[in-house]
Chain A
Amino acid sequence: MAQAAAAAITDLGVAIAPSVHWIGALDPGLRSFDIILKTANGTTYNSYVVRGSAGVAVIDTVKENFSATFFRRLESVARYDEIRAIVLNHLEPDHSGALPELLKRAPQAQLYISSRAQPMLKGLLHGEQLNYMPVTTGDAVDLGDRTLHFLQTPYLHWPDTQCTFLEEEGILFSGDVFGCHFCDARLFNDAVGDFRFSFEYYYAHIMRPFRAHVLEALEQIEPLPLKLIAPAHGPVLRDAPERYVVRYRELSASKLKNEAAGEKTLVVFYVSAYGSTRAMAEALAAGAEEAGGVRVSLYDIEGGEVSPFVDLIEEADALAIGSPTINGDAVKPVWDLLSSLTAVNVRGKIGAAFGSYGWTGEAMQMVEDRLRGLKLRVPVRGVRARLIPTVEELANCRVLGEQLALHLTGRVENRIIDMAELA
């Protein structure tokens, strides 16, 4: 262990298996990654070299400003003219930063990227004409006595993500999958400090919105005879790598047990200063209940924390949000909740908005637009009420609830309408 740590701190590549070296970079000073993640002790940009009898492959590079370290480590284990293949498992700049320079130094190398990465490559390397080979699951690169197999694992966490499996050593170069932001020069999971929190935190913020895709990827990964997982960030997982695969499956299960299994669920959230928007929420909930077939839950946003509400919404089939309009806007607790929904997948759920207002009433439309922006469906126009809702306006809220229930349970009657009616 001590030997490995020393090697990592110097500019030498670190052997992680026969003919395989880590040649990445340590970034211990980083405290915030891509704006959205805290990094309490920095991160690593992991890249690797695989040596086969017929040539060398470089897997992933590093963030551009760490290029010098990357090239020194690369030069310690291979010559540029030996490089036959460059594989990018994911094109984000922290992994592709040194690519242009690497291609200059090893112009004979063939670049392999996921077939889904092509538009991104163009966006990252404006104007540079690159010769690359798009690959997908089932494709392989023959390095003589070493073979790299590609597994397309889209949306973990970009559309382009793929993993690369080195068959002879049982090593999965997993890109961001099974990675974490944890910087420790001891490099291996059985030598570094306790990084469990970082692993879970990374999953929660990077992978959780794509958990359906995680489950699809696990179908490909679980049957592999894994001896080691070499992710693009954080410790190299050589001790019991299968534990991390199992953990991903656990983390991708529902956070809450859905006791309404088999029944559609509608969650209604509201904020109310004087009880008007609350009364509308209650009427909506009552309407949905009355329509039947839907389990309805009602929450005052001010009475709870955002995080468990996000868990509830992740599991629900429909979401209705009530906000008063104050100074021409929906209120902050509503935006706080709505801005937190990018952490989960809400695509295709049914959404609705409602709320009372004093004189302008923009909040309902703003919330509807935000719900559409989050890729929810908004099949029924929301309800607004000026100040204290009238009996008719509360009845409209009941109808909104009924309509949501009918949409949820597939009981909406077929309609023929003219486009002009939709304006």
Chain B
Amino acid sequence: MKRYARSVLAVVAVLALLIGGAGISGMPTAAQGSGSLTVLDWAGFDDEQFWIDFKNAHPDVDVTFEMGASDADILAKMMAGSQADVFHPYTGWLQFYVEEGLVEELDTSRLANWDKVPERFKELGQFDGKQYFVPYDWGYSSVLYRTDLAPEAGDSWDAMFDPAYSGHISMWDDGVAAVDVASQVLGLDELNLTEEELDKIQQLWIDQRELNLFYWSGEPELVEAMASGDVWVAYAWQGAYALLRAQGVPVAYANPEEGRHSWVGYYGIRAGTENLDNAYAFLDGKLAEETARNVVETFYYGSANQDVMASIDDPELIDVLAIDDPTVLDRTFFSPAISAEQRDAWAEMWVDVKAS
């Protein structure tokens, strides 16, 4: 028995050493320095370059990232009681945090870089006249197509439903985006959809499924498939466009006659956070020069810092973000603020499309 116990002990000791070493380095050192900060963010944004100004100003703060896979995922985690101090929703989802009392009202005088934000972006983060969110990144959703394989695809969202491209279309795997696009194609008012109209939208996508090769969920998946020639026409953000162009793949990013869609990413502070000062500093850091520039140069996203945007002289970036086209914004739809009922109904509609 003794010897057996000893060998068990030995195993346990080795184990403790093994994971212990990892655990100690993995343990948040919340007690020391100037505190900690937990950020609930999309994968990719945990990279240091997207909060480098905050890091440089507050090297002692222990920053932890929680990952969200989608707007719905981030909202679900916040509603389930996530202790993240700062979180990153996009337009169309902001109002839920206000309605559920999950977000702290902001005192913009605590943000040194606030005057660099264009008025339009500020407004989208306001509810009942109060500022709740700070904008960081923005971009487009439109039709991306291979000019050699589908040269005629460019004028309309209809290309996503065109049997001529059967087996070579790829839609983003997202219910809200699906309703956005379908409402435009069918000429419906998406904020006042009747049940019959939503059924019509569902049927449109069920029919489209026969033409659709796959629903993409990560950009690399789409980029590889378009580079290989499997996908000719896709719902895409401008990042995929920029990357494919840089690789010499013949692609164009449409200006559909119905207009482009646009989205803006915001950061909010969780109501009741214990790390309020760090949270403000983090949000302010998001607007600072280097952090703003990195998101433009790495992801080909727009930044909410207008000084940074004005200083961009790379013609590639100017073209991709349509910075030089004053009319593009007039033909751009910012994702509207939907209600919780719409959100759930649309998400369910999309699951049903895939299940049918």
- B and A form one assembly: no
